[in-house]
Amino acid sequence: MKQDLLDCQARIVPYIHRTPVLSSQLLNDLAGASLYFKCENFQRMGAFKFRGATNAILQLTAQQRARGVVTHSSGNFAQALALAAREVGTIAYIVMPRTAPQVKKDAVSGYGGHIIECEPTLAAREKTASDLVQKYGATFIHPSNQDEVILGQGTAALELLEDHPNLNAIFSPVGGGGLIAGTALAAHYFGNNCDVIGGEPEAADDAYRSLIAGRIETNTATNTIADGLRTELGDRNFPIIQQHVQEIIRVSEAAIIAAMRLIWERMKIIVEASSAVALAALLIEKGRFEGQKVGILLSGGNVDLLDLPFGQTKAG
């Protein structure tokens, strides 16, 4: 896997932004540690997902490219695959629930993706995607549970470790598991005893429970503002997470919003709620990282400016 990660990095580097790593003295003081924020909110289309999508698409054969790609997503992976497909001149069929916000549909269309709407159930999404694969001979690309995607997402941590080789730990949000699995591979092969720790919403703590149970657990509800983290682990990323992730820390909704607000107000950058989960997890357990060097993956910055959560904390 070590060479696979390096090959992946070389493959996608002409397409992606090398995102900056920012620090904040105030947040360092607050955490009692030196924090290094990897700003994937500045990545193309606004999230790390573009890395994995690009890596997957670049490995299609000419015949596959001629027939297009399919995914189902109402989040950042939909935009990522649409943009990556446009970059290499193939077509992206994006299955989205008809109830998805118009702003998300517009974003996918803006990157040239072809939206196919379906009923808002997982079964309908999978059936619709499967039909498209049949109909067009298009290649299905999974948002998080596919090796090419996992490796692509891992390049964010790989870059972070190139810039800061002696991190004691990297905190990553945990949703479908692609980012944290890729991060775990990067830290294992390129870190210097660098732990990987996940931050996960209490309200969608399937990964936390999966690690305890030793098998992939599901969520019965996903009532979290961190909408990128409502998804569940898969059979490709779970074994990597079991082997190379030290711990998953669960955080409350209030802690997510508070961490998001800290990043906005103190760092003056825009991150989505899912990104703030990693910082929230660190702040809960900050005593354990006293004086250490800690990387934080800020996974994305796509938010609806007309629907921000800060008013909810006014009384808090």
Rank residues 68 and 301 by Cβ distance to its own copies and give the closer one: 301
Q: How far apart are CA 160 and CA 211, in angstroms?
A: 26
What is the biggest distance separating any 2 CA atoms in the chain, rounded to whole angstroms? 58
| 261 binding its own copies? (CB under 8 A) | yes
Q: Which stretch binds its own copies (CB under 8 A): 27-35, 41-49, 133-141, 168-176?
A: 41-49
Q: How far apart are CA 3 and CA 20, in angstroms?
A: 24
The CB-of-44 to its own copies minimum distance in angstroms stands at 9
Which parts of 156-203 are beta strand (E)?
169-173, 195-201
Rank residues 167 and 303 by Cβ distance to its own copies and give the closer one: 303
One-letter amino acid of 297: L
Rank residues 60 and 260 by Cβ distance to its own copies and give the closer one: 260
The CB-of-135 to its own copies minimum distance in angstroms stands at 33
The CB-of-305 to its own copies minimum distance in angstroms stands at 4
Q: Which stretch binds its own copies (CB under 8 A): 84-92, 141-149, 178-186, 263-271?
A: 263-271
The answer to whether the CB of 295 falls within 8 A of the CB of 167 is yes
The CB-of-271 to its own copies minimum distance in angstroms stands at 8
The CB-of-12 to its own copies minimum distance in angstroms stands at 17
| 264 binding its own copies? (CB under 8 A) | yes
| 30 binding its own copies? (CB under 8 A) | no
Rank residues 41 and 153 by Cβ distance to its own copies and give the closer one: 41
Among 63, 89, 268, 290, binds its own copies (CB under 8 A): 268
Among 6, 30, 116, 308, binds its own copies (CB under 8 A): 308
Q: How are beta strands 34-39 and 21-22 bridged, if at all?
A: antiparallel
The answer to whether the CB of 189 falls within 8 A of the CB of 165 is no
The answer to whether the CB of 54 falls within 8 A of the CB of 84 is yes
The secondary structure of 7-20 as a DSSP string is HHHHHHTTTS----
| Number of Cβ within a 10 Å radius of residue 63 | 9
Among 89, 305, 315, 316, binds its own copies (CB under 8 A): 305
Q: How far apart are CA 267 and CA 287, in angstroms?
A: 22
Q: How far apart are CA 50 and CA 59, in angstroms?
A: 14
The CB-of-242 to its own copies minimum distance in angstroms stands at 33
| Residue appearing with tokens 């399919």 | 70
- Residues in binding contact with its own copies, number by CB under 8 A: 19
Among 41, 145, 153, 219, binds its own copies (CB under 8 A): 41
Among 80, 115, 174, 270, binds its own copies (CB under 8 A): 270
Q: How far apart are CA 196 and CA 296, in angstroms?
A: 10
| 221 binding its own copies? (CB under 8 A) | no
The answer to whether the CB of 150 falls within 8 A of the CB of 236 is yes
| 316 binding its own copies? (CB under 8 A) | no
Rank residues 9 and 41 by Cβ distance to its own copies and give the closer one: 41
Length of the chain counted residue by residue: 316
Q: What residues contact 315, with CB distance under 8 A and at least 6 apart?
A: none
Note the residues at the interface with its own copies (CB under 8 A). 20, 41-42, 46, 261, 264-265, 267-271, 301, 305-306, 308, 310-311, 314
